[in-house]
Amino acid sequence: GGLLVLGMAGRGLLRLLVAGPSRARRPRGRVDRLHARAWRLVQRRGWVPPAALPPVAAAEWVVARAGDAAEPLRTLAWLRYRVRYGGADDEDLAGQARAALDALRAAGLPRHRPLPEPRGTISGRDHGGPDGSR
């Protein structure tokens, strides 16, 4: 058992040494960069969707909670998909992406203010067993 774990760990270390540390992906083109800027704006306003969501689903998550002011974020996500997966030319869509980012800035995206957690909940400090007993 222990040798197997060591062997697996050694393989992972070898892979790291050969491949180098992974870097966070940088936006490639103009549409990608504008999309990334939009997300920085949205996150500064407190809207952080679940990390597992892909860009369009994440944008829809924000629109569903923040309202129509976030709609340009969905537009940007679809433009990004068109460039990345649909073969559209980045330069051709950069103007639309810039307009969507400008619209997002002008729309007045509300701040997300999470509600305080009620006492006695599972994630609270003073919870007991299933029936509330300790």
pLDDT digits (tens, 9 = 90+) for 20-64: 433 345 668 999 999 999 999 999 999 999 999 999 999 999 999
More confident residue, 94 or 7: 94
CA dist 27 → 2, 30, 113 (Å):
42, 8, 29
Rounded to 5°, the CA angle 89-94-95 comes to 125
Q: What is the pLDDT of residue 31?
A: 97
Query: Residue 121: what pLDDT?
Result: 57
Phi, psi of 108 (to 5 degrees): 70, 50
| For residues 1-20, average pLDDT | 50
| pLDDT tens by residue, 101-134 | 999 999 999 999 876 666 765 654 444 445 455 4
Tokens of 134: 């300790």
Residue 73: the pLDDT is: 97
Range in 3-7, 30-34, 89-93, 98-102 the model is least confident about: 3-7
Cα distances from 47 to residues 63, 72, 80, 109, 113, in angstroms, run: 10, 14, 20, 10, 9
Is the model's pLDDT at 16 over the cut of 70?
Answer: no
